[in-house]
Amino acid sequence: MGETRRHERLDENEVLVIALVGFGGLVGAVSRYLVGSWVTSLTDGSGFPYGTLAVNVAGCLMIGLVAGFAETRGTLSAEARALLMIGLLGGFTTFSAFGYETVTLVRDGEVLAGVANIGLQLTLGLAALYAGLRISLAA
């Protein structure tokens, strides 16, 4: 307990990956806002969140394309994957990451884990959102 913790420094590659994820996340989040707003303006008054739907579907298509090319052609470095898949597409929509992880589990024969991922993400995510609303409204 009297032991002092040694703080390890990040190496140059880790710093680069963090910067790439951050930059990609910035571009992805701004893109999500712009695309979502644009689609919403096209469907104004419908009451359905078409902007969010469009972003989620587009993000899933893009992460599928990037992951597929990366797997079949080995064309992406770890840094490029961090920029594109984690940063850009993660900032654009985390639904794409959820979809990719779920499909990967099922494709790898982990069907139960894939189904559990769907159930847990939806159930716990929506329950947490509801709890947050209830707590904030009661305060």
Task: Classify residue 132 by burial, with Cβ atoms within 10 Å: 0-12, 13-18, 19+.
Answer: exposed
Domains of the chain: total: 1
Domain presence at residue 132: no
Q: Which domain holds residue 34?
A: 12-93
Convert the pLDDT of each residue in 119-134 to its tens digit: 999 999 899 888 888 9
Determine, yes or no, domain membership for 103.
Answer: no
Q: What is the pLDDT of residue 6?
A: 57
The answer to the question of residue 26 being in a domain is yes
Strand, helix or coil for residue 23: helix
The residue that leads in pLDDT, 2 or 35, is 35
User: What does pLDDT average to over the chain?
Assistant: 89
Residue 75, pLDDT score: 84
Residue 27 belongs to a domain:
yes
pLDDT tens per residue across span 48-90: 889 999 999 999 999 889 888 888 888 889 899 999 999 999 9
Instruction: With respect to residue 41, please indicate whether it lies within any of the assigned structural domains.
Output: yes
- Give me the pLDDT at residue 5, please: 54
Distance CA 45, CA 43 (A): 6
